[in-house]
Amino acid sequence: MSQIDFDQLLAKLSAVSEEEFIDPGRLEWPAEVDPNAWYFTPELISLYGSDIWESLDDRQRKRLSLAEAVNFFSLNIHGEKYLISEISRRLYIGEESELSRYLLHFVDEEARHMMYFAGFCRRYAEKIYPDHTVHGEDSGDAELDMFLLFARINVFEEIVDHYNRIMAKDERLAPIAREINRIHHFEELRHLNFGRNFLRHCLDRHIDDWDEVRRQELRNHLSSYLKFVWKQYYNPETYQDAGIDEAFEVWRVAANSPSAVQHRNEVNQKRLSYLRKLQLLEAA
C-alpha cells in the first residue's frame, strides 16, 4: 500500500469519525438489574458447555451472565486505557499529520467507549474488575514498537468484535447490554479497518529491512499476546461474584474444558485470518 493510498484511507476514516459521532450521554440506563434477563450471550459465557455450566440452573446462569458482562466491559476498559496512553504519546511527533489526525479520533472514540463500559459496571455491579496486566518494555526501535502496539490492538479488537457482533443481535439480552455491544461494534469497524491497513502499510515499508529473524520474533510476540488476551476472558472473581463455589478451582480448569478450547479455536480461525495472511501469527 502506497503512502498516498494510506493517507487517503486515513482522511476517509477521519471524515466518517467526524460525521458519525456517538454520544454515550444518550444511552438510557434502566435503574436496576433485571434478574430474569441475560446480559451476555449464554453460548459466549466462559464456562458454557463445561460440567459446571451444566450444574447451574437458569437463574444462576443469568447471574453469571451479568458478571461476565462486567468482566468483558472491564477488560475493554483496561485495554482502551492502555491504548489511549500509548497512542497519545505518539501524536504529532513527526510529519505524519494525516495519521495523527485520525489517531486523535481513535483516542477520542476509545475514551467514549470507556464511559459506557464503566457506566455499566459501576451501575450494575458497583465495580470494575482490576487490571492484572504488566506491560513489557519497549524495544527502543520506535517504528517497531508502534507496529507491535497496533498489531496487539488489532488482535485485541478482533476478538472483542466477535463478541460485540453476536451480542448486538442477540434478542435474549437486556436492551442496555445489546445497545452497548451494538454501538461499540459500529465504531470498532473503523478501528479494525485502520489496524489491518496500518499493519500492511508498515510491512510493505519494511519489506527489505525486517528479515526473517525479526519476523519470527513478531510472530512469537503476537502468538503469546493472543494467549494472554484469551486469559482475560476467564476470571475467578467473576465466578465468585456469580455465587459459584470453589471459584478459584473452577477458574483453574475453565480455559481447558473441551468446549472452551474449541470456542477459542473457532474465534481465532474466523477473526485472525488477516493477521495469519500477513504471517504475523503462527498458522492455526
Which does residue 158 touch among another protein, Fe ion, none (CB within 5 to 8 A, set by kind)?
none
Closest CA to 154 of 106, 99, 88: 106
Q: Does 135 bind another protein (CB under 8 A)?
A: yes
Which does residue 225 touch among another protein, Fe ion, none (CB within 5 to 8 A, set by kind)?
another protein
Which does residue 191 touch among Fe ion, another protein, none (CB within 5 to 8 A, set by kind)?
Fe ion
Q: Does 213 bind another protein (CB under 8 A)?
A: no
Distance between CA atoms of 154 and 159, rounded to whole angstroms?
A: 9
The single-letter DSSP state of residue 152 is H
Question: Least distance (Å) from another protein to the CB of residue 170?
Answer: 28
Report long-range pairs for 198-205 (Cβ below 8 Å, ≥24 apart): 198/6, 198/150, 199/147, 199/150, 199/151, 199/154, 199/275, 199/278, 199/280, 200/1, 200/278, 201/1, 201/3, 201/6, 202/143, 202/146, 202/147, 202/150, 203/278, 204/1
Closest CA to 45 of 70, 65, 62: 65
Q: Does 212 bind another protein (CB under 8 A)?
A: no
Q: Does 191 bind Fe ion (CB under 5 A)?
A: yes
Q: Does 113 bind Fe ion (CB under 5 A)?
A: yes
- Which of positions 147-186 make contact with Fe ion (CB under 5 A)? none
Question: Least distance (Å) from Fe ion to the CB of residue 115?
Answer: 11
Question: Least distance (Å) from another protein to the CB of residue 255?
Answer: 10
Question: Least distance (Å) from another protein to the CB of residue 85?
Answer: 14
Question: Least distance (Å) from Fe ion to the CB of residue 256?
Answer: 29
For the chain, the 3-state helix, strand and coil shares in percent, each to the nearest 5, are 70, 0, 30
Which does residue 8 touch among another protein, Fe ion, none (CB within 5 to 8 A, set by kind)?
none
Residue 9 · residue 197 · CB < 8 Å: yes
Q: Does 126 bind another protein (CB under 8 A)?
A: no
User: Could you tell me the three cell numbers for 156?
Assistant: 485485541
Sole window of 22-30, 171-179, 224-232, 264-272 interacting with another protein (rule: CB under 8 A):
224-232
**Binding stretches for another protein (CB under 8 A):** 130-137, 224-225, 227-228, 231-232, 236, 248, 251-252
